[in-house]
Structure 1
Amino acid sequence: MHTRSKPWKLMLTGAISLTLLAGCGTSNNAETNGASSGDVVVSKEDFPIVSKPVTLSLMAPDVGIQNWEDMAVLQQMEKKTGISFKYLNVPKDSFDTKKNLVFASGEYPDVFYASGLTTAEQMNYGEQGILIPLEDLIEEYAPNFKALMEENPDVRKSITAPDGHIYSLPVVEYSQHWYRNPMWYNGDFLKALKIDKLPETTEELYTYLKRVKEEDPNGNGLADEIPISSVTVTAANLRDIRTWLLGAFGIYDDEIYIDDVDKVHYTAMEEGYKQYLIYMNRLWSEELLDHESFSQTAEQKKAKAQNNRVALFSDWHAYMTKGGEPSMEDPMFAPVKSDMVDAPAISKNRGITTGAFAITKSNKQPEASMRWVDYLYSYEGALFFNKGPEGTLWEYTDEAARIKQYLPVPGGVEMEDYRATLTPNYGIPAPTLSMDDINKGLKTDFDLWVEKETKEKLLDKGARIPFPVLFLTGEEQTEINSLNSDLSTYVKQMEAKFIIGAEPIANWAKYLETLKKMGGERVTEIYQNAYDRWESS
Structure 2
Amino acid sequence: MRGLKRKWAIILTLSMLFSILAACASSSPSTSEQPEAGSATGSNVNKEGFPIVNEPITLTMMAKDAGMKNWSEMPVIQEMEKMTGIKFEFRNAPLDSFDTKKNLVFASGDYPDVFYAAELTQDEEVRYGGQGVLIPLEDLIDEYAPNIKKILDENPEVRKSITTPDGHIYSLPRIDLSAVWYRGPMWYNGEFLKALNMDKIPETTEELYTYLKRVKEEDPNGNGQADEIPFSSVKLDDVRMFMLGWWGIYGEVIYADKDHNVHYTPMQEGYKGYLTFLNRLWNDGLMDKETFSQTDDQKKSKGKNNQLAIFSDFHPYFTLGGDPNPEDELMKPLKSEIADSPVYGKHPGLSRGAFAITSSNKAPEATMRWIDYLYSYEGAVLFDLGPEGMLWKYTDKDNRVKETVPVEGDREEFRATLTPNYGIVTPGIVNNDVQKGLKTDYDEFLIKENEEKLLPYAKVPYPLVYLTAEETEEISKLRSDLDTYVKQMEAKFVIGQEPLTNWDAYVEQIKKMGGERIEEIYQAAYDRWNQNQ
TM-score, normalised on structure 1? 0.94
Shift of the alpha carbon at 1:178? Answer: 1.5
Q: Distance in 2 between matches of 1:516 and 1:21?
A: 49
Shift of 1:18: 2.2
Give the drift of 1:414: 1.4
Q: Secondary structure at the match of 2:187?
A: strand
Tell me, what secondary structure is at the counterpart of 1:421?
A: coil
Decide which of 508, 524, 532 is 2:519's aligned counterpart: 524
CA distance in 1, matches of 2:334, 2:299: 23
TM superposition shift of 1:101: 1.0
Choose from 448, 466, 470 the match for 1:452: 448
The structural deviation recorded for 1:493 is 1.1
What amino acid is the match of 1:124? R
Instruction: Report the equivalent of 1:362.
Output: 360
- Deviation string 1:42-68 (CA, Å, 9 cap, x unpaired) is 111111111111111111112111111
Aligned length: 518
In structure 2, the residue matched to 1:234 is none
- Distance, in Å, in 2 between the alignment partners of 1:476 and 1:186 is 44
Letter in 1 for 2:79: Q
Deviation at 1:21, TM superposition (A): 5.8
Who is 2:70 aligned against?
67
- C-alpha deviations, 1:212-263, integer Å up to 9, x for none? 11110001011100111111xxxxx312111121111111011000111111
Q: Is the 8 A contact 1:258 1:466 kept in 2?
A: yes
Number of the residue aligned with 2:418: 422
**Counterpart contact for 1:5–1:416, Cα < 8 Å:** no
Q: Does 1:443 align with 2:443?
A: no
The amino acid that maps onto 2:67 is: G
Alignment of 1:104-503 (within 5 A): 104-231=107-234, 237-409=235-407, 412-459=408-455, 461-503=456-498
Q: Give the whole-Å Cα distance in 2 for the aligned partners of 1:365 and 1:350.
A: 32
Q: How far 1:536 sits from its partner (Å)? A: 1.2
Query: SS in structure 2 opposite 1:313?
Result: strand
C-alpha distance after superposition, 1:20-40 (max 9, x if no partner): 2641467532544233xx5xx
Q: Could you tell me which runs of 5 or more consecutive residues in structure 1 were left unpaired when the two chains were aligned.
A: 10-16, 232-236
Deviations 1:271-325 (A, max 9, x none): 1001111111111111211111111111111110001000011111111111111
CA distance in structure 2 between the aligned counterparts of 1:285 and 1:182, rounded to whole angstroms: 24
Residue pair 2:56, 2:86 contacting (<8 A) in 1 also: yes
Cα RMSD of the aligned pairs, angstroms, is 1.7
- Structure 2: which amino acid aligns with 1:175? S
Residues 362/438 of structure 1: CA separation in 2 closer, same or farther (3 Å cut): same
Equivalence for 1:94: 97
Contact 1:26/1:363 (8 A) holds in 2: no
8 Å CA contact 1:209–1:228 kept in 2: the answer is: yes
| % identical aligned pairs | 59
CA contact (8 A) 1:122 1:167 kept: yes
| 2:459 partner SS | coil
Deviations 1:348-380 (A, max 9, x none): 110011100000111111111111100000000
Whether the 8 Å CA contact 1:170–1:432 is kept in 2: the answer is: yes
Q: Contact 1:25–1:362 at 8 Å: present in 2 too? A: no
From the superposition, tell whether residues 219 and 25 of structure 1 become closer, same or farther in structure 2 (CA, over 3 Å).
farther
- Write the distance in 1 (CA, Å) between the matches of 2:266 and 2:45: 52
**How much has 1:413 moved relative to structure 2?**
1.1
CA distance in 2, matches of 1:206, 1:25: 65
Contact 1:387–1:393 (8 Å) recurs in 2:
yes
Does the 8 Å CA contact 1:5/1:426 hold for their aligned counterparts?
A: no
Q: CA, structure 1 residues 166+26, in 2 after alignment: closer, same or farther (shift >3 Å)? A: farther
- 8 Å CA contact 1:27, 1:363 repeated in 2: no
Q: 1:173 to 1:343 in 2, by over 3 A?
A: same
Confirm or deny: 8 A CA contact 2:39 2:55 kept in the other structure. no
Matched, 1:514 2:509: yes
Aligned partners of 2:174 and 2:429 also within 8 Å: yes
Which residue of structure 1 lines up, in the alignment, with residue 3 of structure 2?
none
Question: 1:119, 1:25 → 2: CA distance?
Answer: 29
User: 2:51 is matched with which residue?
Assistant: 48
Amino acid at match of 2:393: E
From 36, 39, 45, give the equivalent of 1:29.
36
Give the match for residue 13 of structure 1: none
8 Å CA contact 2:216–2:228 kept in 1: the answer is yes
